[in-house]
Chain A
């Protein structure tokens, strides 16, 4: 599902990162563990195609994304990749439900109210759908971010430090939610984190 070879990224006149090769089979989940400053977010951005690699090859599903032009890459990413950022990003002028509709609409033009509402129900957001995103609590925002990552049933979901600000019980809940939703969406889940608490949930691990 995700396969990399000789992946390298160099920031101009700064450090350069060499990443170990990844080979993830469909339906499998992966945890990438590593301390701060080792290029975890960089790796996640490379894998999701929002940052072009300096060298090396990334294949997602059967598509070599390192070989795509910008336009095709945008399209491919929109359809096949789900992203859950460490910093939540929403469209502030839209309400919760509209944010999810937007993610369904682009780029596959899906309008699946049932899936959206069931997902919101599972994530405990049913009562918040008409609210502005800025009115949500921290926890609700996190769950909305998860919903945003999986709503369009991507091939692979990348999550960047999803548990960093959570206590132990919430940490377990969120990881479980992520795994459950990835399974329901039939997506591979890739979590990148420095949080050792997450490691017990994953058999498949890479340590940077």
Chain B
């Protein structure tokens, strides 16, 4: 039996009042901690993902889309660029490294990325088992994908056209073999199935053609056609030098494939001068566009930041209202318990002890509200993580309390303290004799 126990019993003596007081606090705390974790983790993850890339060169369109699609792999690409043109950029003296990437297929919603071995190096990815790809249709699998889909070395899978999981358009005649598994990196590479560029070209050429004459019902009819062309495509790839001969043969519908294409080129500058000169040069003199991930993401975060600030503002407003509701609730409680407080005075508890009693009750309430709010925020984070993972392949980590959250706890308790002190002025004016004699 002590003040803390008494305060606790007082607090829970009216459950409905308690729930009402807690509700606002829980709402505000969960909102703040959720937004805090979400923006922090997304920022951290995005920073890590764009770090190896100074500039992306891709088809004209929205630069933000180009960055989102080619670097972060959360949007559809702007289109393709010619490999020849991309290679001409590669030779520019300011360019340190240039990694071609090509994609357009997925396996169960995870993107299949055609690139070169240097891509692994740029993200510091290391093999956990197996080896890197050496030939077409050999795939190295990112750790999250492997875990989620249970892929092991030697497994065979077929890709589907498009970047989201669908059961249609499966390239059954071009199965991939898993040859390597990657260690987790905490970057976008964990979410990818990576192969060489040729694999994408082979499968892509093949599918594009199928698509030209294809509609869902006609699938069976097209099958023969499809297969026949497929074989030709293989020839085409193998005898790359003889492209012109093929054209001469009159395959007009394949004109758009006479030059190899990639989706984009990821560039790391050798000299900071590249940052100043290259983007303008590319945008003004070629059919391609150059986008700077750092700049684009900063712009995006600027836009999102306004949203985050707004939500935080709302949460702080709710917090203040919840402080006010604690104040009202305590004020009411103190009035209702006037006689009990007077009784405690006759038990020898001074004014300060009564104040402490009410303070403990208020702080207990605030702490409980914070705890539930924090848990709810984390629960929301789990939900958001599941959503982001299925939609964008991003996984949010559910971590313990953050230093900023401790600070926020401090603020919450401070607000509760102020509410208690404002509510408890009547304790100092308590007339024991009159209060106890009142019927």
Q: Does B10 contact A (CB under 8 A)?
A: yes
Pairwise interchain contact A102-B1, C-beta atoms closer than 8 A? yes
Given A45-B437, A50-B436, A78:B347 Cβ within 8 A = yes
Query: Which of A13-21, A23-31, A86-94, A177-185 has 4 or more CB atoms under 8 Å from chain B?
Result: A86-94
Report chain A residues within 8 Å CB of B433: 42, 45, 50-51
Encode A69-86 as 1/0 by CB contact (under 8 A) with B: 011001111110101011
* B-chain residues with CB within 8 Å of residue A42 when the two chains form the complex: 433
Q: Mark the stretch among B97-105, B274-282, B337-345, B385-393 that contacts chain A.
A: B337-345
Q: Which of B343, B346, B350 contacts A91 (CB 8 A)?
A: B343
Residues of chain B from 323 to 363 with CB closer than 8 A to chain A in the complex = 339-340, 342-351
Q: Is the CB of B9 within 8 A of A106?
A: no
Q: Given A91-B343, A102-B1, A79–B348 Cβ distance below 8 Å? A: yes
* Residue A101, interface by CB 8 Å: yes
Whether A78 lies near B436 (C-beta < 8 A) is: no
| A90 to B337 CA separation, bound complex (whole angstroms) | 10
Please determine whether A92 and B13 come into contact, CB atoms closer than 8 angstroms. Answer: yes
* A83 to B432 alpha-carbon distance, docked (Å): 13
B350 contacts which chain A residues (CB < 8 A)? 70-71, 74-75
Q: Which of A77, A87, A101 contacts B348 (CB 8 A)?
A: A77
Cα separation A188 to B6 with both chains bound (whole Å): 30
Contact call A92/B340, Cβ cutoff below 8 A: yes
Overall SS of chain B's interface? helix
Given A91-B340, A92-B340, do A98 and B349 touch, yes or no (CB 8 Å)? no
Given A91-B343, A94-B6: A106 and B13 interface contact (C-beta under 8 Å): no
Question: Are B1 and A74 neighbours in the complex by a CB distance under 8 Å?
Answer: no
The answer to whether A89 and B342 touch across the interface, beta carbons within 8 angstroms, is: yes
The answer to whether A50 and B343 touch across the interface, beta carbons within 8 angstroms, is no
Is B349's CB under 8 angstroms from A78's CB?
yes
Query: Which residue from A70, A85, A98, A107 sits with its C-beta under 8 Å from B347?
Result: A107
- Contacts A50-B432, A107-B348: A98 and B343 contacting too (C-beta < 8 A)? no
B238 adjacent to chain A (CB < 8 Å): no
Contact A85 B348 (CB under 8 A): no
Q: Is the CB of B437 within 8 A of A106?
A: no
- Identify which of A76, A86, A92, A107 gathers the most chain B CB atoms within 10 Å of its CB: A92
B16 beta carbon closer than 8 Å to chain A:
no
CB distance from B349 to the nearest CB of A (A): 6
Closest to A79 in B: B348
A41, A76, A94: the one within 8 Å of B437 (CB): A41
If A41-B437, A83-B346, A85-B436 are given as contacts, then 10 extra A-B residue pairs at C-beta distance below 8 Å, sorted by A number, are A51-B432, A70-B351, A78-B348, A87-B438, A89-B436, A90-B340, A90-B343, A91-B340, A93-B13, A106-B348
- For this complex, 7 residue pairs linking A to B, each with C-beta atoms less than 8 Å apart, are A77-B348, A78-B349, A89-B339, A91-B6, A101-B1, A102-B6, A106-B348
| Interface residues, chain A, with chain B CB atoms under 8 Å away | 41-42, 45, 48, 50-51, 70-71, 74-79, 81, 83, 85-87, 89-94, 98, 101-107, 111
Closest 7 CB pairs of A and B: A78-B348, A93-B13, A107-B348, A51-B433, A101-B1, A93-B9, A45-B433
